[in-house]
């Protein structure tokens, strides 16, 4: 899997993000699985709209959190690669 | 403020009716007939209550849940309530129209069972001619319609040789996930144990194959693997811990900590419309009986892993030792472990007799 700034991450078939009111947290719902998302994880997942590529997502979050692009870039890639390995996103 | 965390998942066993007669079915030996089933209003009420408690996933199961004409309506209601809906199906009664209606209602995931990789053996095991071909057709429709597909293959002595072909078939069907489950010996499976239990050599070959294939296939298709209890050394974390993650509602509306809990004598299970679901979850004897670690005896109560596996499977302890609070005999620290291994090895050498088919008597 070669991930570049051009790569467009997508939630995999059957995977949805939603808000869990009972536990007051965002979650990723997948077949027979629930993954609890913290604030940053949720921001990344929400940015994966099937249109934005990784560079767009990094720029969006760097602006929102006023953080250096290089730092956000590493975090976003690491997180999305983890989700890809867990079969929750495709890269 | 209650200290008992809410469940994540609800197993909704809508019916015990099923066109297949698999001899390892997890349903109880005394299955409920259609006239004991609950109506749409009951299930809608349960779904609303479960969602407000914090249940995030619903598994429509059975029997064959698509035998219920209200399945699409129940999926839609669960989706409206914010739940993720999974369908666990034998698939033989499905077609494009039904699947499209379920997808429209919000269904995210379909789990299709296979009894093997070859039609002749698979149809024999399910005792339903033409089942295998039909299942393959339906599995293809699931992904065409855009839902996530899991292939579930229960494996045992009479189909383990087909495991490499089952894995290839699941890949060819573009499954997102393959669940390879060695038979769990409860319900009908316990009745048919001597005909199903694999030899240790078969189990070791399966283990090695799964490890190799996982490495090879990676995230394209996740392989979940349920090991055969009788050859394991550590118990599985059954149900994610008794009364911790899941609740199960039987076709007649009784609320159970797991689908096999009825095999434990002395437990009574309230119906979901007798009491608020939250009260049943938090306060009923059945859910509290084996919740946490307070019920454990030695060697479990001083075990470092007691909050990892939560004591394993209570129904198995009951089935093998006659004491539901005993150490799960799967555990190498159980005094019954060696005897269980020996029993498995001996039964696996027997010539398999005829299956006792899963049927309503």
* Residue range A19-37, pLDDT digits in tens: 999 999 999 999 999 999 9
What pLDDT, on a 0 to 100 scale, did the predictor assign at position B61? Answer: 98
What digits encode the pLDDT tens for the residues B270-305?
Answer: 999 999 999 999 999 999 999 999 999 999 999 999
- Identify from A1, A9, A12, A13 which residue to disrupt to test chain B contact, counting B C-beta atoms within 10 A and taking the largest count: A13
What pLDDT, on a 0 to 100 scale, did the predictor assign at position B361? Answer: 66
Smallest CA–CA separation between A49 and chain B, in Å? 17
What pLDDT, on a 0 to 100 scale, did the predictor assign at position B285? Answer: 96
- Identify from B87, B148, B221, B245 which residue to disrupt to test chain A contact, counting A C-beta atoms within 10 A and taking the largest count: B148
Environment class of B97 (CB within 10 Å of its CB; exposed 0-12, middle 13-18, buried 19+)? exposed
Residues 258-297 of B with CB under 8 A from A: none
- Identify from A16, A33, A37 which residue to disrupt to test chain B contact, counting B C-beta atoms within 10 A and taking the largest count: A33
Q: What is the mean pLDDT of residues B239-266?
A: 96
Q: What is the mean pLDDT of residues B137-161?
A: 97
Smallest CA–CA separation between B48 and chain A, in Å? 13
Cβ neighbours of B146 in A, within 8 Å: 13
Cα B66 to Cα B43: distance, rounded to the nearest angstrom: 14
Cβ neighbours of B108 in A, within 8 Å: 14-16, 29, 31
Of A22, A29, A86, nearest to B53 by CB-CB distance is: A22
What pLDDT, on a 0 to 100 scale, did the predictor assign at position A3? Answer: 86
Of B53, B86, B221, nearest to A32 by CB-CB distance is: B86
What digits encode the pLDDT tens for the residues B168-221?
Answer: 999 999 999 999 999 999 999 999 999 999 999 999 999 999 999 999 999 999
Please tell me whether residue A72 adopts helix, strand or coil conformation: helix
Q: What is the mean pLDDT of residues B116-121?
A: 98
- Chain A positions touching chain B (beta carbons under 8 Å): 12-16, 18, 20-23, 27, 29-32, 34, 84-87
> What is the side-by-side strand order in the sheet with A16-20?
A16-20, A25-30, A33-37
Chunked in runs of 10, what are the mean pLDDT values of chain A (91 residues)?
Answer: 88 95 95 95 96 97 94 95 95 93
For residue B321, pLDDT beyond 60: yes
For residue B119, pLDDT beyond 90: yes
How confident is residue B49, by pLDDT bands cut at 50, 70 and 90?
Answer: very high
CA distances from B224 to B59, B184, B356 (A): 17, 15, 28
What digits encode the pLDDT tens for the residues B197-208?
Answer: 999 999 999 999
What pLDDT, on a 0 to 100 scale, did the predictor assign at position B228? Answer: 85
What pLDDT, on a 0 to 100 scale, did the predictor assign at position B1? Answer: 42
More confident of the two residues B187 and B140: B140
B143–A27: do the CB atoms touch at under 8 Å?
no
How confident is residue B150, by pLDDT bands cut at 50, 70 and 90?
Answer: very high
A14–B54: do the CB atoms touch at under 8 Å?
no
B57–A27: do the CB atoms touch at under 8 Å?
no
Cβ neighbours of A30 in B, within 8 Å: 84, 109, 148
On average, the pLDDT of chain B sits at 95
Smallest CA–CA separation between B32 and chain A, in Å? 26
CB A88 within 8 A of CB A79: no
For residue B84, pLDDT beyond 60: yes
- Of the listed ranges A17-31, B1-15, B72-86, B98-112, the one predicted with least confidence: B1-15
Q: What is the mean pLDDT of residues B330-341?
A: 94
Q: What percent of chain B has pLDDT over 70?
A: 99
What is the three-state SS of A6-59?
CCCCEECCCCEEEEECCCCEEEEEECCEEEEECHHHHHHHHHCCCCCCHHHHHH
A18–B219: do the CB atoms touch at under 8 Å?
no
For residue B264, pLDDT beyond 90: yes
CA closest to A82 among chain B residues: B219
Put simply, whether B222 touches A (Cβ < 8 Å) is yes
- Of the listed ranges B103-107, B162-166, B199-203, the one predicted with least confidence: B199-203
Q: What percent of chain A has pLDDT over 90?
A: 97
Cβ neighbours of A14 in B, within 8 Å: 108-109, 147-148, 176
What pLDDT, on a 0 to 100 scale, did the predictor assign at position A1? Answer: 59
A14–B52: do the CB atoms touch at under 8 Å?
no
Cα A66 to Cα A72: distance, rounded to the nearest angstrom: 10
What pLDDT, on a 0 to 100 scale, did the predictor assign at position B96? Answer: 98
Q: What is the mean pLDDT of residues B164-168?
A: 98
Smallest CA–CA separation between B344 and chain A, in Å? 31
């Amino acid at each position: 899997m070669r991930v570049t700034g051009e790569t467009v991450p997508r939630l995999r078939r059957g995977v949805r993000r939603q808000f869990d009111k009972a536990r007051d947290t965002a979650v990723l719902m997948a077949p027979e699985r629930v993954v609890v998302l913290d604030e940053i994880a949720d921001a990344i997942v929400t940015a994966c709209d099937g249109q934005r590529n990784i560079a767009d997502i990094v720029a969006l979050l760097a602006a929102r959190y006023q953080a250096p692009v290089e730092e956000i870039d590493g975090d976003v890639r690491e997180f999305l690669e983890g989700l890809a390995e867990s079969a929750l996103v495709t890269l | 403020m209650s200290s008992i965390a809410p469940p994540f998942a609800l197993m909704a066993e809508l019916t015990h009716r099923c066109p297949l007669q698999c001899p390892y079915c997890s349903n109880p030996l005394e299955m409920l007939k259609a006239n004991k089933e609950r109506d749409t209003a009951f299930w809608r009420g349960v779904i609303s209550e479960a969602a407000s408690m914090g249940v995030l996933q619903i598994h429509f199961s059975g029997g064959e849940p698509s035998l219920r004409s209200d399945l699409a309506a129940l999926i839609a209601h669960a989706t409206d309530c914010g739940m993720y809906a999974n369908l666990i199906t034998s698939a033989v009664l499905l077609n494009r129209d039904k699947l499209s209606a379920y997808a429209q209602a919000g269904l995210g995931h379909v789990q299709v069972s296979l009894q093997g990789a070859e039609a002749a053996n698979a149809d024999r095991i399910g005792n339903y001619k033409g089942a295998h071909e039909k299942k393959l057709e339906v599995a293809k429709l699931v992904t065409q319609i855009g839902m996530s597909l899991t292939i579930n293959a229960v494996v045992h002595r009479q189909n383990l040789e087909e495991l490499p072909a089952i894995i290839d078939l699941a890949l060819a069907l573009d499954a997102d996930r393959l669940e390879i489950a060695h038979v769990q010996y409860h319900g009908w499976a316990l009745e048919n144990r001597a005909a199903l239990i694999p030899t240790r050599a078969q189990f070791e070959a399966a283990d090695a194959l799964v490890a190799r294939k996982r490495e090879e296939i990676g995230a394209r298709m996740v392989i979940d693997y349920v090991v055969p209890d009788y050859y394991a050394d550590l118990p599985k974390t059954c149900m994610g811990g008794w009364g911790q993650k899941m609740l199960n509602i039987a076709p007649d509306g009784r609320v159970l900590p797991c689908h096999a809990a009825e095999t434990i004598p002395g437990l009574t299970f309230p119906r979901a419309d007798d009491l608020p679901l939250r009260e049943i979850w938090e306060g009923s004897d059945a859910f509290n009986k084996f919740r946490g670690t307070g019920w454990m005896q030695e060697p479990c109560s001083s075990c470092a892993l007691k909050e990892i596996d939560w004591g394993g499977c209570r129904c198995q302890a009951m089935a093998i030792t006659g004491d539901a609070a005993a150490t799960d005999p799967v555990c190498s620290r159980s005094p019954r472990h060696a005897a269980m291994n020996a029993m498995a090895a001996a039964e696996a050498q027997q010539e398999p007799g005829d299956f006792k088919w899963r049927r309503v008597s």
